Amino acid sequence: MSHRITRRRFIATAGAAASVALGSSIFNLDSVLAAPFVRRNLGGMDPSDPILVSYRAAIKAMKLLPTANPLSWDYQAAIHGTTLAGAHVAWNTCEHGTHFFWSWHRMYLYWFERIIRKMSNDPCWALPYWDYHNPSQRTLPVPFRDPASELFVADPNRGFGWNAGTASFPASHVDPSSGLAALDYFTGQGDIEQNPHNNVHVDISGWMGNISQAAQDPVFYVHHSNIDRYWNLWLTQGGGRTDPLADATWKSRSYTFFDENGNQVHMTACDILRCAEQLSYTYESEPPQVKEYCLRIIFPWWLVVVQALLQLPGPPVELGERQVTVPVDISQLRQRITPLLESKNEHIVIELDNVEAEREPGVVWEVYLGAPAGVPLNAENPHFLGTVALFSAGVHSHVHGEFTPAHFVFPANKALAAALRTNQEKLPLVFVPTGPLIDGKPSQPKVQAPVKIGAIRVAIARNEERREGPIVPEKPEPNRPK
Ligand code: C2O
């Protein structure tokens, strides 16, 4: 063990280690080494920070390896998705729009991080996270913009303005609040997958905008580190939030990766429930992690049941270059809706079903319900429902199994409460195509492929408390067996 490891990991865990140091010996290596790695916030991190220097060194070394070597940059990216031909173990195995989005990506990052540690010769390395929700971190982090750096990807493999530092995320595209507020796991995961996850991919575009190329960009991993952090943050809010431990399929599906020696490894969700304990990492400044166990199902837990009240008539709605407005006639629903706005366990949602596009549309549509004409449409508007951005689910050209259309459920209580005050009968449901901000101003995005929405419904989402289990999952099973 080098001196460096002891010291750095010691510092990283100073609080926990201090008592050990006082109580016994300063060099109580076991407890120091057992302390988890800390995944640090990328915000303000200097390009010369050892974390970034090691990341660069590893990428450089990995790019020198042949594609068929599991430790190569190409192979690691291909595990997520690739356009390369050839059948290699674990290629194209990422999970999107399924029950396994959070869990698969957690496993993927874990092994990637170990490989970076090895390839950089930096046994202390931990993947940083990009906290773009923070208004000071909405542009591409500076270390990723330096053309001389391995963290750089040239235009147009990154969309316009990101490398120049002029592009930034609108607040509405990087807003985890709906996901964090959800009580049941699959709703929270699905919302976070959309916003901020898909939006970040679509806004950065280039490689990041395409599921088969995204993981070639080093920024992919710091993006996903943040998405993984949200899983922990979601759990720590309590209120009955728990991993879907009653779902046997979720717990037992096994995925294949490679360790830092190039050996195949297999993992299930049960191996990744407790980051610090099982995977030896924490996030900088996160609250104490919730510990869950596969054999211990926590009761009660929540399940959301969605029940349609009204399906909008008419042909499928098509989203293209222009803003689209669909009237939602609530005249028959007023009596029904009003009490629901007060209810604790039920709320109104707008559901978009069978959402699909031929290719990645390359656009984030902001969705608003009932906004009066003339008010600025942005995330602060109470009528803002959420975003529609297709990255994998719903995109016909990117299927590594069977095609699954995308599905969206937007909590609509706030927008409806505001709209009901105005006595309108027909509430406009508005879809606004948006791109990243350029120099702080909205840009008009180019629509690469229109999006078709098969059905729009007003529905009730009911949080159901489950006091026993296990149960058969009520959501459709993901489409491809592994
Ligand atoms: Cu598997 Cu952000 O992608």
Ramachandran bin of 423, using left for φ above 0, alpha for ψ from -120 to 50, beta for the remaining angles: left
User: Which amino acids bring their CB within 6 angstroms of ligand 1?
Assistant: 80, 94, 96, 105, 197, 201, 214, 224
Give backbone dihedrals phi and psi of 33, rounded to 5 degrees, phi first: -75, -20
Q: Which residue, 440, 414, 386, 413, is CA-closest to 193?
A: 386
- Locate the ligand 1 atom nearest the alpha carbon of residue 105 and give its number: 1
Ligand 1 center–CA 137 separation, angstroms: 20
Residue 11 alpha carbon to ligand 1 centre in Å: 32
- Could you tell me the distance, in angstroms and rounded to a whole number, from the CA of residue 329 to the centre of ligand 1? 37
Ligand 1: distance of its center to the CA of 191 in Å?
14
Q: How far is the CA of 3 from the centre of ligand 1 (A)?
A: 36
Q: Which atom of ligand 1 lies at the shortest distance from residue 81's CA?
A: 1
Q: In the prediction, which pLDDT does 321 show? A: 94
Q: Among candidates 88, 96, 41, 48, which has minimal Cα distance to 69?
A: 88
pLDDT at 296: 87
Please give the distance, rounded to the nearest whole angstrom, from the Cα atom of residue 232 to the centre of ligand 1.
Answer: 18
Task: Give the nearest ligand 1 atom to 198 CA.
Answer: 2
Query: Which pairing describes strands 167-168 and 437-438: parallel, antiparallel, or unpaired?
Result: antiparallel
**pLDDT (tens digit per residue) in 197-255:** 999 999 999 999 999 999 999 999 999 999 999 999 999 999 999 999 989 999 999 99
Ranges of residues in the chain with a pLDDT under 70 are 1-34, 399-401, 469-482
Tokens standing for 194?
Answer: 């959309």
CA 211 to centroid of ligand 1, rounded, Å: 7
Other C-beta atoms within 10 Å of 372: how many?
A: 12
DSSP string, 232-299: HHHHHT-TT----TT-HHHHH--EEEE-TTS-EEEE-GGGSS-IIIII-EEETTPPPPPP-BTTB--S
Note the pLDDT of residue 112.
98
Helices (H), 98-214: 101-120, 177-181, 185-192, 199-204
Residue 351's DSSP bridge partners are: 409, 457
Give the position, in ligand 1's atom list, of the atom nearest the Cα of 201. Answer: 2
| Distance, CA of 408 to CA of 448 (rounded, Å) | 21
Closest residue to atom 3 of ligand 1, CA basis: 211
Q: How far is the CA of 163 from the centre of ligand 1 (A)?
A: 21
Beta strands at 324-329 and 346-356: parallel, antiparallel or unpaired:
unpaired
Residue 21: per-residue pLDDT: 38
Q: Which atom of ligand 1 is nearest to the CA of 96?
A: 1
Ligand 1 closest atom vs CA 220: 2
Instruction: Tell how far the Cα of 369 is from the centroid of ligand 1, in angstroms.
Output: 29
Q: What are phi and psi of 283, to 5 degrees?
A: -100, 140
Q: How do beta strands 364-369 and 301-311 pair?
A: unpaired
Cα of 105 to ligand 1 centre, how many Å? Answer: 7
Helices 14-23 and 3-12 meet at what angle, rounded to 10? 110
CA–CA distance, 113 with 102 (Å, rounded to integer) = 16
- What pLDDT, on a 0 to 100 scale, did the predictor assign at position 30? 53
Residues of 149-160 as b/e, b for ≥16 C-beta within 10 angstroms?
A: bbbbbeeebbbb
Q: Which of 124, 196, 209 is nearest to 158 (CA)?
A: 209
- Which of left, alpha, beta for 419 (phi over 0: left; psi -120 to 50: alpha)? alpha
Which atom of ligand 1 approaches the CA of 101 most closely?
1
Q: How would you classify the pairing of strands 317-319 and 451-466?
A: antiparallel
Ligand 1 atom closest to 224 (CA): 2
The residue contributing the CA closest to ligand 1 atom 1 is 94
Q: Are 72 and 116 in contact (CB under 8 A)?
A: no
pLDDT in tens, 79-109: 999 999 888 999 999 999 999 999 999 999 9
Ligand 1 atom nearest to CA at 227:
2
Compute, in angstroms, the gap from residue 259 CA to the centroid of ligand 1.
20
Instruction: Tell me if 332 sits within 8 A of 394, measured CB to CB.
Output: no
Distance CA 178, CA 173 (A): 12
Distance CA 238, CA 301 (A): 10
User: What distance in Å separates the CA atoms of residue 53 and residue 37, rounded to the nearest whole number?
Assistant: 17
What pLDDT sits at residue 34? 67
Centre of ligand 1 to C-alpha 193, Å, is: 9
CA distance to 126, 351, 456, per residue, from 119 (Å): 13, 46, 49
Give residue 470's pLDDT.
Answer: 64
Cα(467) to centroid of ligand 1, in Å? 33
- Measured from the Cα of 95, ligand 1's closest atom is 1
Tokens of 320: 């293209």
Q: What is the structure's pLDDT at 160?
A: 96
